[in-house]
Amino acid sequence: MQDLVGASNLRVLVYSHDASVRRDVIASLGRRPAMDLPEIEILEVATEPMVWQYLDKQKFDLVIVDADATPAGGLGIARQAKDEIFNCPPFLALIARSQDAWLATWSRAEAVVPKPLDPFALSDTAAKLLRQRASLNN
């Protein structure tokens, strides 16, 4: 496997209205979710308008969304982004109920991680998606 450590930082957007969810995601990912990846730069947002503002103006390698965010759920944002953004970054959805896995499929999120968050599952899943994105951009 190609070692990506020498590459520039990877950018991750984290969306949830709940500051504790955002904090848990950031703590789980750390500065580098896997040793073969470069450090990540995380931008956290609490509102849907901010998600769109950043997605319109900046490049991200991964977007992590909270399916239970209010008033705009992360799965709806993922679906809309997949429809509207050329070369859309991968989406990782955080779901509280296993029954919501079908909604994640509908949203076209590339992966889901259940809540409460398991830091190892989140970092492993994020690393997999970041590797896939990096290989597509090379």
Question: Cα–Cα distances in Å, from 92 out to 7, 20, 42, 102, 127?
Answer: 22, 17, 14, 14, 11
CATH of the domain at 96: 3.40.50.2300
- Asked if the structure places residue 19 within a domain, the reply is yes
Question: Is residue 104 a part of any domain in this protein?
Answer: yes
CA distances from 58 to 10, 83, 88 (A): 12, 17, 11
Give backbone dihedrals phi and psi of 91, rounded to 5 degrees, phi first: -115, 135
Number of domains in the chain: 1
At residue 7, the pLDDT reads 53
Q: Mean pLDDT lowest for which of 31-45, 69-83, 99-113, 117-131? A: 99-113
Q: Give yes or no for residue 25 having a pLDDT over 90.
A: yes
| Inside any domain, residue 74 | yes
pLDDT over threshold 50, residue 6:
no
pLDDT tens string 51-104? 999 999 999 999 999 999 999 999 999 999 999 999 999 999 999 988 788 888
**1 within some domain:** no
Residue 3 lies in a domain: no
Tell me how far the alpha carbon of residue 29 is from its chain's centroid: 11
Can you give the pLDDT at residue 97? 87
Strands 40-45 and 10-15: parallel
Query: Is the pTM value of this prediction over 0.75?
Result: yes
